[in-house]
Homo-oligomer: A and B are copies of this chain.
Amino acid sequence: MGTVKRTTARLVQRKVVVCGRIIMYDIDLTNAVAEIKRLKARIVALQVPEGMKKRAYQIAEDIENNASAEVMLVAEPCFGACDVPSSLFDMVDAVVHVGHSPIPSLRFTKPVIFVPARSRIPVTEQLKKAVGLLVEPVGVLATSQHLEELDDAIEGLESMGMKVKIGEGDSRISHVGEILGCNYTTATSIAEDVNSYLLIGSGTFHGLGVHLSTGKKVVVLDPNLEEPREIEQEKAKILRQRHAAIERAEKARSFGIIIGEKVGQRRLRRARELRKLIRWKRKDASLILMDKFDPEKLKTLGFDAYVSTACPRIAIDDVAMYDRPLLTPHELEIVLGVRRWDDYTFDQMTEEEF
């Protein structure tokens, strides 16, 4: 037992290289090891985010040594808790999924053990700079990897005398204050009570999503950067790109409606509604199942334009890669004249669409 404890303890921190920087993430396998033992799982698939892949074999070894299960590393990139490898369920007794919070409304036919990987970088200096940009009361939000820093930010803001609000999301969200790239309900739940948001996260996508769904000012605090940022400049650029895609799609005669194969992205119901809508407008529409998005696949299938009901980020983040218009469902509605451009928001996933 002594050995087991020592080995498990060794796991608590792992250096991970993300975008060329070494970042410390807390990865505690204690619960996962206990759960594997409780389940008497003999074969386990291990899924880790891209930045941790080089260390995955060590995590696998730690599980094998401590839980006496055989571990298979999942090589495919993993983009979220929506991306649990359900296709492997008949090969394994359980899946260990590192790096994302569970999506409570997702049900699996095999046990999936979620292990958080959370960074804890001091945010005090940035918080001081952010205060001047924020308007009280402030809604505080974070993406999965930054939930530890969310707590620090709430404490920090309160200690500086700021009024702070924390929201709760719908059935896709497992933590207070947490948002996903496909779900801003945690933000909208407090939209009427706040005058701005502080979001602990990286990039522009989530911040812009919060802004478009609430209309409120958003300041993004990325613990790996030096300065908090507003998103005004990127907002204008992204909206220009979306407007251009919508305009190009207006000429399309045939639409491919893409349903994501990933287990938490299968908005079959929404896709079928969109198909009806397109046909009602007397244009051609086919349903397409796609796992990994790729401009070549769209070209090969040969439709004039595409609508993605899979992860909302794909159409926005990868816009430059696609020569055919790739729209979100809301954007298709604008193309077909059933939604106004003034009502533009980012696509969100809700239970009823599945």
**Interface, chain A (partner B; CB < 8 A):** 45, 50, 53-54, 56-57, 60, 70-76, 85-88, 90-91, 254, 256, 258-259, 261, 266, 268, 272, 284, 286-292, 297, 300-303
Contact = CB atoms under 8 A, between A and B. Distances in A.
Contacts of A74: 288-289
Identical chains in the assembly: 2
A228 to B, nearest CB: 31
Given A73-B256, A87-B291, 18 more contacts: A54-B302, A56-B301, A57-B254, A57-B302, A57-B303, A71-B287, A72-B259, A72-B287, A73-B287, A73-B289, A73-B301, A76-B289, A76-B291, A76-B292, A76-B297, A85-B289, A91-B259, A291-B291
A261 B73 contact: no
Contact of A53 (B50, B72, B91, B300): B300
A297 B56 CA distance: 13
A41 to B, nearest CB: 15
A286 B53 contact: no
List 3 tightest A-B contacts by C-beta distance, closest first.
A87-B87, A75-B290, A72-B287
Contacts of A256: 73
B289 A88 contact: yes
A50 B272 CA distance: 25
Contacts of A73: 256, 286-289, 301
